[in-house]
Structure 1
């Protein structure tokens, strides 16, 4: 898995899930964490704290096939590969005890003849390649990324599979269905940057899964090492600079149960100071905050967030923000307020089809009740937002339409423009 990426380095991780079939007529079932020691002889299978699988080497090669960087370890199942060139395509592989990890045809959870799902050969293999980011001082080339909100339970089908415990996210086996299985081929090439939501903490669940998030997303290795890049613990705040002209800022909008006087993590003293520094200048053309909870929401289940509106939106104004991304409400919404575009894309896995009732209060200009992911394309002074609801028979994206408050059909892309002349400053954030 390509866990993180910058202009000069990449974080590569590897792991495994184990399955058992207790009877030849039964489907494969995942081995739950509690049963790993007895059935497999391991305590863990993925994440920062996973036990090593053997003597491991990560090799990175350039377009000619020449190995340009490598790193070896016998103590862990992850490694930073350093010394790479900016804006350059590479291929990589992981070798464990002399054998290439994850090579050959893979097995996936697929529909079977009995009307359910089971593990079987997929006819697919990993394509292990990536392109490093441009240098932070260089103009940003055209950038495409996906915003995926509230991605649900993934490939878990029904009770006949009987495989994933309580599905709370508190154990590694919970993550197979919702994260690693459906996105494995993407995660091999594209890093995932999380925003903490209410189901990741004690806000909604019976327990806080923060430790599991830190382990599986390698948060310590990714965000604690570079000065100024993040504010971590408790809560997760970090910034990503892609070239000179784009910076994404992750904001933790979950409840803060550890601090007196602060309801939310972004109101806590050290996080607040970090946010004020990040948004103190209007020196990046596209500084894009993203969080789980939205500032403006027309429903049907949630309304405008007063804390975000009072505490964060003034900072967005100082930082030159023109586009804000969020999830939480399980539909698609666009709000336009004071020259700024707020997008809710929260139907990656679960959907609320009831129409929103507070369109005027949320300054809503478009909405849709369909499952989707959001493709964001930034090219110079233009950001194009395209919700995608699936694939057509020929494999091309099925673009999702939306509705205006007046009932008019609106077709993507939804375009955000920024015609400002933005002063530039040299940055070393990566």
Structure 2
């Protein structure tokens, strides 16, 4: 019960926000299982801010992931950080592995590959333990703090570039006692990402980081460090999608450029709220996850809530 007790302590500290803010133009929820992914595509699901011991909406979201996986057959699932509240895990034997991951994401239809990013709450614990867990548990795919993989299906190639964004954030770097091992070499990470993107030949490249670049969330807004350091890299390489969490909301922002910004932070933690919905193509303070599919010329993103209803969907052409 230690994992659950720490979660309750965290809630007392930050408060439980249960807002129903949404963008004025947001579609009404439609009946369950209405989504059709792009034909001949690579499909995957994505969510962040999830590890709360199955409490709140985490289990409901996990159940819908399993339900949708039965009909959409995703190749993998992205967990975009804040994997264990409130202070990560302490070892590979920490009870949170069972409470927040193994027992929650146990559906038989779920894909066998969970691609993991690290979040700020993970840095408040033992990051190395999350890397070590991957060595003996093949579903937990975390080969390094940042890494890249290529997925191929139906003749379509998709590159996933997963970054470690917490070391970029000044507030964490200034309090290293609260964030052990936060003082990473971010220049090296950016140089690596630039090299990967320069040599990539896949039909679609999607970049993942825990922290958003742009966000209309009242809980977590724009991230100046990433606007200054990461955004130019995305623009240089015409990356079509940057996927993140951190704000406990669902958002789609386009900001008028080639890159669209999707926040899928409704994985389980208490919800945030939307500060300015006019900035978003879509925004909702809701539990849920994203369904993403890409084929030879298009990318489609859908948001599904914890009740299994389609909230929003958009499609864009891929740059060539």
How far, CA to CA, are the matches of 1:282 and 1:317 in structure 2? 15
How far, CA to CA, are the matches of 1:194 and 1:348 in structure 2? 13
Name the structure where strand makes up a greater proportion of residues: 1
Tell me which residue corresponds to 2:126.
Answer: 209
1:248 and 2:168 correspond? no
Q: CA deviation at 1:275?
A: 1.4
Task: Extract unaligned runs of 5+ from structure 1.
Answer: 1-28, 32-139, 158-163, 203-207, 225-231, 392-396, 401-411, 422-430
CA-to-partner distance for each residue in 1:286-311, whole Å, 9 max, x for gaps?
11000100000112112211111111
Tell me which residue corresponds to 1:324.
Answer: 242
Residues 186, 331 of structure 1: CA spacing in aligned structure 2 closer, same or farther, 3 A cutoff?
farther
In the superposition, the TM-score normalised over structure 1's length comes to 0.50
SS class of match (1:216): helix
Q: CA deviation at 1:312?
A: 1.0
Task: Extract unaligned runs of 5+ from structure 2.
Answer: 4-38, 57-83, 177-181
Q: Which one of 241, 252, 274 corresponds to residue 355 of structure 1?
A: 274
Residues 293, 165 of structure 1: CA spacing in aligned structure 2 closer, same or farther, 3 A cutoff?
closer
Conserved? CA contact 2:247–2:272, under 8 Å: no
Conserved? CA contact 2:248–2:273, under 8 Å: no
1:177 and 2:99 correspond? yes
Residues 182, 270 of structure 1: CA spacing in aligned structure 2 closer, same or farther, 3 A cutoff?
same
- Within a 5 Å distance, the mapping from 1:66-105 to structure 2 comes to none
Q: CA deviation at 1:141?
A: 4.3
Tell me which residue corresponds to 1:304.
Answer: 222
How far, CA to CA, are the matches of 1:254 and 1:30 in structure 2? 26
Q: CA deviation at 1:167?
A: 7.5
How far, CA to CA, are the matches of 1:147 and 1:188 in structure 2? 12
Q: Which one of 362, 379, 385 corresponds to residue 301 of structure 2?
A: 385
Residues 187, 216 of structure 1: CA spacing in aligned structure 2 closer, same or farther, 3 A cutoff?
farther
How far, CA to CA, are the matches of 2:43 and 2:54 in structure 1? 26
How far, CA to CA, are the matches of 1:415 and 1:165 in structure 2? 33
- Within a 5 Å distance, the mapping from 1:30-429 to structure 2 comes to 141-155=40-54, 168-171=88-91, 172-185=94-107, 189-202=111-124, 208-218=125-135, 232=144, 236-243=145-152, 245-255=157-167, 265=184, 268-281=186-199, 283-337=201-255, 338-352=257-271, 354-357=273-276, 359=277, 363-391=279-307, 397-400=308-311, 412-418=312-318, 420-421=319-320
Q: CA deviation at 1:374?
A: 0.9
SS class of match (1:194): strand
- Larger RCO: Structure 1 or Structure 2 (Cα < 8 Å, ≥ 6 residues apart)? 2
Conserved? CA contact 2:207–2:242, under 8 Å: yes
In the superposition, the TM-score normalised over structure 2's length comes to 0.65
Conserved? CA contact 1:246–1:284, under 8 Å: yes
Residues 274, 355 of structure 1: CA spacing in aligned structure 2 closer, same or farther, 3 A cutoff?
closer
Name the structure where helix makes up a greater proportion of residues: 2
Q: CA deviation at 1:215?
A: 2.0
Larger displacement relative to structure 2 (332-341 or 282-291): 282-291
SS class of match (1:193): strand
Q: CA deviation at 1:320?
A: 2.6
Q: CA deviation at 1:223?
A: 6.5
- Structure exhibiting the larger radius of gyration computed from Cα positions: 1
Tell me which residue corresponds to 1:404.
Answer: none
Conserved? CA contact 1:214–1:220, under 8 Å: no
Q: CA deviation at 1:153?
A: 1.2
Q: CA deviation at 1:347?
A: 1.1
Q: CA deviation at 1:188?
A: 7.0
Residues 188, 349 of structure 1: CA spacing in aligned structure 2 closer, same or farther, 3 A cutoff?
closer
